[in-house]
Amino acid sequence: MKTGKSIQIVTLMLIVGLLSIASLGCSKATEATTTPKQEIVVKIGTTSDEPRVWEAIGKKLAQDNIKIKIVNFANGANPNQALANGDIDLNSFQHYAYFNKNKSDLKLDLTPIGDTIIVPLSLFSKKVKSVDQLTEGAKIAIPNDITNIGRSLNVLKNAGIIKLKDGVGATPTLKDITSNPLKIQFVELAQAQIARSLTDVDAAIINCGYAVDAGLDPIKDPIFADKIDISDPNQQPYINIIVARTADKDNAVYKKIVKAYQSEDIAKVISQVYKGASIPAWTK
């Protein structure tokens, strides 16, 4: 009888032990299923100091555990080269025209993965109130990269300040100027530096995104405003883009970032931040 009782006690102890192990296993399994997903950090290169649009996009992506880290290249470094080198994951600072030339010049394996906005290039001044007040020999600052030189010259042509050769299209150069009655002196500067140099010249062609960064009103302050029509094929090369390395063009996380950007609520943020000067271009 004692032997039987001993066996029963040992059996009971074994059962209790097995139940404890099973309980512990369930506890660990439950813990594993409730552990938050690891946060994914995506570094995005820009050249703008204005954070509010990307902050709003970041809030949308937080529910998917995606965190955006903005890397600012306002110092003149090239976000395309940095992207190709793997220093950042995406960039968002340029339009198609600039991208295509820069990619070709540097032989970079990069691909656009989403349209964002189109930004006017307008003529601003701290010294005169209208184009008519510009005097002979006035200095006008323009971007020093070839694609935006061409766009700037077309803006100045539309303002009646210069005339260009027929048929030069979207990419004229200074050599294509056929009439410059005021003998305007063109000062070529890095696009990100022009707004800061506005007081050093009589007028300047400024990307309205940089104008906002510099405290200018892109609607009220230009002495001549660039007109935007994204249905015009001649203006579509100036639509801004999000760019990835070609190997990452189908990355699911990056596609979520593009989708978050191309949303109605972000379009409203863009309108609020840029006062209607930057136009959402993904609906073209």
Give the pLDDT confidence of 122-156 residue by residue, as tens digits.
Answer: 999 999 999 999 999 999 999 998 889 999 999 99
177 SS3 class: strand
Three-state SS sequence of 112-175: EEEEEEECCEEEECCCCCCHHHCCCCCEEEEECCHHHHHHHHHHHHHCCCCEECCCCCCCCCHH
List the beta bridge partners of residue 140. Answer: 186, 203
Specify the domain boundaries for CATH 3.40.190.10 within the chain: 40-119+234-280, 121-213
Contact between 176 and 164 under an 8 Å Cβ cutoff? The reply is: yes
Q: 8 falls in which pLDDT band (50, 70, 90)?
A: low
The token duo for 215 is 């405290």
Query: How high is the pLDDT of residue 112?
Result: 98
For 121-213, which CATH superfamily applies? Answer: Periplasmic binding protein-like II (3.40.190.10)
Q: Find, among 238, 230, 121, 141, the residue nearest to 193 by Cα.
A: 141
Confidence of residue 29 (pLDDT cuts 50, 70, 90): very low
Which helix or strand (DSSP H or E) is residue 243 part of? strand 239-245
pLDDT at 33 over 90: no
Task: Give the pLDDT of residue 213.
Answer: 82
Question: In this model, does residue 2 exceed pLDDT 70?
Answer: no
The pLDDT of residue 232: 85
Q: What pTM value is reported for the model?
A: 0.76
What are the backbone angles phi and psi of residue 146, rounded to the nearest 5°? -60, -40
Name residue 118's beta-bridge partners: 239, 279
Encode burial over 185-213: b for 16+ CB neighbours within 10 A, e otherwise: ebbebebbebbeebeebbbbbbbbbbbbb
Tell me the per-residue pLDDT of 59-82, one tens digit each, with 9 for 90 and over: 999 999 999 999 999 777 899 999
pLDDT tens digits, residue range 211-267? Answer: 888 899 988 999 999 888 888 888 899 999 999 999 999 999 999 999 999 999 999
CATH of domain 40-119+234-280: 3.40.190.10
Q: Residue 15: is its pLDDT beyond 90?
A: no
